[in-house]
């Protein structure tokens, strides 16, 4: 038995003194390290995205199916496998759905009712993206009927006896439906991730929000109805989340009052969809413009060479708008070449991708508004039911993998990001 006294306290006090000395000497370094290890939010400066003080030009892809496949144990691994493959190609952003309204594996079962099991699947997608160093562009609703879309909201209002019209376009003007959508936005943006503990609105893994996929309002081709909805909903989102970038989700068509409707739009119908690229993107709460590139779907009498020329002209026109009118980045959030075209040959995809990547690379070299591209779409093996005429399993196409890596590397070099990113340096030193 030790005698009473202060003997045992001496080594304890010595130890505490040593810890205090180390903290005072090196504590700032420890905290600096942790700050550097955390992801930063992507912002914008004029026509460029900015991350950690340097310009960011995006090379990424679409995998709309992430949340749906993360719900079930047997398919959840596909999310991590796809994110890992994207990361190994140096890809920085993946666009995916953060909605599923009604139907199978619905996130929103009915207005204001959510399936926690599906919400946890979205939590998993965001946590996995962070693990692989990939950011997410999360789309909030579909103009199309897939995964519910605006049709489901209209049906809900009709079923509850509060709908003003059975038209799908009432999604944009019906007060009850607007309330449904705002409630969904509030729940989603303030969701606390069950894995990371971070609210979505505070998570820099999320690159940006996309208001709606490919909005059209055919019942008002003037564009006023859609424009009012965009202004209202973007202001609402920014009232909850001021940290993330926000885009509309446009295809890029010019409206009936735009002079470019005659010189750039694919055909006359494109100006009669109730949307307008410049007007919609000018909305004060929109941080960057979005454009899709599908000439083989928009024209019915053109061959590959004509479609290729149109794609380049289409991109250059929207970059001109970004530089001169919008003063905002322009992100080409979907592009692809259908393998169902009559004159299709596999080598055409390589040429199509290369031409589009070249436009963005030249934009990056000149510090212009062409801010990047997202391929539609990447999948993994065994997903035939989710494939379409544009889908690619990237590791089955060596030429596509090489093109994707090369684009990542040259964008990294021209922006100076390659020098500060060890992972990118490794990818680009072994890109062949």
Residue 214 annotated as catalytic: yes
- Give CA angle at 340 (336, 341), nearest 5°: 80
> Which of the 8 DSSP states describes residue 199?
B
- 3-class SS of residue 29: helix
- Alpha-carbon span 120 to 293, nearest angstrom: 33
Give me Rg for the CA atoms of the chain. 24
The single residue of 128, 210, 251, 334 carrying the catalytic annotation is: 334
Sheet harboring 289-293: ordered strands across? 245-247, 206-210, 135-139, 93-97, 58-62, 370-375, 330-335, 289-293
- 3-class SS of residue 107: coil
- Cβ contact 60:375 at 8 Å: yes
- Alpha-carbon span 275 to 396, nearest angstrom: 38
425-432 long-range contacts, CB within 8 A, separation 24+:
427/88, 427/89, 427/90, 428/90, 431/402, 431/405, 431/406, 432/402
The single residue of 214, 389, 396, 426 carrying the catalytic annotation is: 214
CA proximity to 382, closest of 128, 78, 63: 78
User: Which pair of structure tokens corresponds to residue 208?
Assistant: 């940006």
Helices then strands, counting H and E runs in the chain, come out as 14, 13
- Cβ contact 200:193 at 8 Å: yes
CA proximity to 392, closest of 62, 9, 123: 62
User: Which pair of structure tokens corresponds to residue 412?
Assistant: 């990294």
Q: Which residues of 305-331 are buried (b: 16+ CB within 10 A; e: fewer)?
A: eebbebbeebbbbbbbbbbeebebbbb
- Alpha-carbon span 86 to 181, nearest angstrom: 32
Residue 84: CB atoms within 10 A of its CB come to 13
- 3-class SS of residue 137: strand
- Cβ contact 271:255 at 8 Å: yes
Catalytic positions are: 214, 334
């Amino acid at each position: 038995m030790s005698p009473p006294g202060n003997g045992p306290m001496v080594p304890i006090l010595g130890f505490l003194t040593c810890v205090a000395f180390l903290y005072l000497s090196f504590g700032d370094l420890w905290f600096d390290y942790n700050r550097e290890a955390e992801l930063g939010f992507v912002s914008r400066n004029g026509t460029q995205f900015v991350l950690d003080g340097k310009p960011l030009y995006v090379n990424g892809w679409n995998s709309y199916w992430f949340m749906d496949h993360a719900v079930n144990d047997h398919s959840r691994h596909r999310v991590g496998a796809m994110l890992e493959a994207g990361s190994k190609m140096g890809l920085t952003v993946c666009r995916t759905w953060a909605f599923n309204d009604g139907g199978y594996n619905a996130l929103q079962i009915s207005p204001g009712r959510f399936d926690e099991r599906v919400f946890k699947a979205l939590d998993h997608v965001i946590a996995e993206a962070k693990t692989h160093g990939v950011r997410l562009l999360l789309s909030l609703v579909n103009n199309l009927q897939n995964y519910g879309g605006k049709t489901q909201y209209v049906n809900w209002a009709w079923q509850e006896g509060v709908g003003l019209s059975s038209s799908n376009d009432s999604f944009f003007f019906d007060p009850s439906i607007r309330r449904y959508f705002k409630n969904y936005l509030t729940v989603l943006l303030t969701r606390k991730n069950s894995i990371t503990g971070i609210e979505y609105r505070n998570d820099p893994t999320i690159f940006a929000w996309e208001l709606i996929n490919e909005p059209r309002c055919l019942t008002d081709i003037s564009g006023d109805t859609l424009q009012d909805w965009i202004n209202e909903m973007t202001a609402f989102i920014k009232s909850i989340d001021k940290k993330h970038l926000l885009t509309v989700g446009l295809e890029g068509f010019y409206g009936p009052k735009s002079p470019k409707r005659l010189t750039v739009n694919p055909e006359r119908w494109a100006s009669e969809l109730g949307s307008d690229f410049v007007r919609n993107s000018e909305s004060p709460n929109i941080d960057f413009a979005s454009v899709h590139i599908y000439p083989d779907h928009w024209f019915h009498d053109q061959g590959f060479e004509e479609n290729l020329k149109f794609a380049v002209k289409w991109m250059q026109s929207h970059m001109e708008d970004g530089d001169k009118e919008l003063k905002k980045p322009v992100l080409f959030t979907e592009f692809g070449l259908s393998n169902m075209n009559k004159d299709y040959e596999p080598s055409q995809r390589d040429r199509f991708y290369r031409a589009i990547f070249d436009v963005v690379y030249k934009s990056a070299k000149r510090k212009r508004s062409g801010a990047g591209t997202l391929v539609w779409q990447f999948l993994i093996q065994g997903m035939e039911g989710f494939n379409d005429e544009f889908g690619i399993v990237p590791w089955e196409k060596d030429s596509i993998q090489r093109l994707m890596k090369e684009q990542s590397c040259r964008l990294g070099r021209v922006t100076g990001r390659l020098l500060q990113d060890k992972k990118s340096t490794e990818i680009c030193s072994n890109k062949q």
